[in-house]
Amino acid sequence: MLTSSMIKEAALAAGADLCGIGSMDRFDNTPDYFNPQFLFPEAKSVICLAFRIPRGVQRGIEEGTQFFQYPSMAYGGTNQMFGPAVLYELGRMIEDEGYEAFVYRNTGARSIVSDMDGKLGQTYSPEEKAFSMDSSGNGITGDRRTMPHTRPSREGNIPPDLFIHFRLCAVACGIGEIGWSKMLLTPEFGPMQRVVFLFTDAELEPDPLYNGPKLCRMCLKCARECPGGCISTDKTKSITVNVGGKECTWGEIDVWRCNTYYTAGGKAYNPFVPAQVFDDNADFLESTTEMTPENEIAAARAFEAYTPSWVGYAMAKCGGCIRACVSVLERPGGCMEGRFKEPLRTGKPWKLDR
């Protein structure tokens, strides 16, 4: 008989750092377009595997001297190689026991709703609007955040491809909670992990939803250190959703502005781009006004010549929310206290004077 303890033992032996198990009824109130119950209607259990992000890949950004290890190792390495390999091993073990294993890696897949803002329609990323649409020639087949022309394959289905909400699914598996920055926080690693999932018709004993000490300290340091002002510093401006009876709350986030600042970083946080480029685009880059589609395209075009990407992921110029969160959670009383012999941050964070 396949048990939860067998699953966890196999997952950790294969290389996962954390393994949590949830029951599928925790998604009963999930909007259809994000509901994993449509993936595999007979599934009874969902398994979350978490992989720690080595704190050291943030070291180069913290020092301002080496930036591409974070996207290549933390994102590319886990999403494209390590995570899928462990999923494959665990899936084989489950199917050898006679149960089905629906493996779900972190793909960046597209669905009828945008993975950025959850909106229906034809949604493009700035760089896709600026470049892919030009190269496609017809404005239809270029890469995009949504699949607006997809249709249900049968009556009662949702249109493919269904894209789950990774962080909330992790909450449903009991491994942590959502912080003010909308990052998944776990008691073991704070904001420093990536997750993958497996859905199975094996009925496993679920873990309780996380109910330990609050992990997010609601200090808003993530918001204050965001170079683009993308996260609200007003605690009354928040979003709350219910996952299996657990309330998850985070601050309002300008996701498209975050997209621009993650790749562009801002004048004081991007040593790769001449200051003049920021000055020429200061009307939207150096303000806190909401990014418009036109501004997003202009930013993508302005920075394209200066900001290469590795392993399909943009080079992280800011990382402000994650490093700010780690710097707080490593202090006395934080869940990362005593994890390392020395803290990530030993002085004030750097900022270009220009």
pLDDT tens figures, 79-114 = 889 999 999 999 999 999 999 999 999 876 788 887
Residue 136 pLDDT class (50, 70, 90 cuts): very low
| Token representation of residue 354 | 């220009």
Q: Where are the alpha helices (DSSP H) in the chain?
A: 4-14, 59-63, 69, 83-96, 126-127, 133-136, 166-172, 221-224, 255-264, 275-280, 282-285, 293-303, 320-329
Q: Is the pLDDT assigned to residue 351 strictly greater than 70?
A: yes
Q: What is the pLDDT of residues 256-288, one digit of tens each?
A: 888 888 877 788 888 888 999 999 888 878 776
Q: Is the pLDDT assigned to residue 137 strictly greater than 80?
A: no
- Identify the weakest region by mean pLDDT among 59-63, 315-319, 325-329: 315-319
Q: What was the pLDDT predicted at 108?
A: 67
CA 53 to each of CA 23, 100, 316: distance values in angstroms, whole numbers, following the listed order: 26, 29, 14
Rounded to the nearest integer, the mean pLDDT of the chain is 88
CA dist 204 and 195 (Å) reads 19
Q: What was the pLDDT predicted at 118?
A: 77
| Token representation of residue 279 | 């000055």
pTM for the predicted model, two decimal places:
0.92
Q: What was the pLDDT predicted at 343?
A: 95
Contact predicate 55/344, CB 8 Å: yes
Q: Is the pLDDT assigned to residue 126 strictly greater than 60?
A: yes
CA dist 104 and 198 (Å) reads 6
Q: Is the pLDDT assigned to residue 9 strictly greater than 60?
A: yes
| Token representation of residue 268 | 């004081």
Q: What is the pLDDT of residues 183-230, one digit of tens each?
A: 999 999 999 999 999 999 999 999 999 999 999 999 999 999 998 889
Q: What was the pLDDT predicted at 2?
A: 96
Task: Give which of 325, 167, 191 is closest to 246, Cα–Cα.
Answer: 167
Which has more pLDDT, 289 or 251?
251
Torsion angle (degrees, nearest 10) of CA 4, 169, 184, 174: -30
Q: Is the pLDDT assigned to residue 141 strictly greater than 50?
A: no
Q: Is the pLDDT assigned to residue 310 strictly greater than 70?
A: no
Mean pLDDT computed over 325-353: 94
Backbone φ and ψ of 206, nearest 5°? -80, 155
CA 8 to each of CA 14, 90, 277: distance values in angstroms, whole numbers, following the listed order: 10, 9, 50
CA dist 161 and 182 (Å) reads 23
- Identify the weakest region by mean pLDDT among 31-35, 126-130, 213-217: 126-130
CB within 8 Å of 129: residues ≥ 6 apart: 293, 296, 297, 300
Mean pLDDT computed over 290-310: 76
Contact predicate 166/21, CB 8 Å: no
Among 11-25, 139-153, 220-234, 304-318, the range with the most confident prediction by mean pLDDT is 11-25
Q: What was the pLDDT predicted at 39?
A: 95
CA 104 to each of CA 74, 137, 164, 323: distance values in angstroms, whole numbers, following the listed order: 18, 33, 9, 28
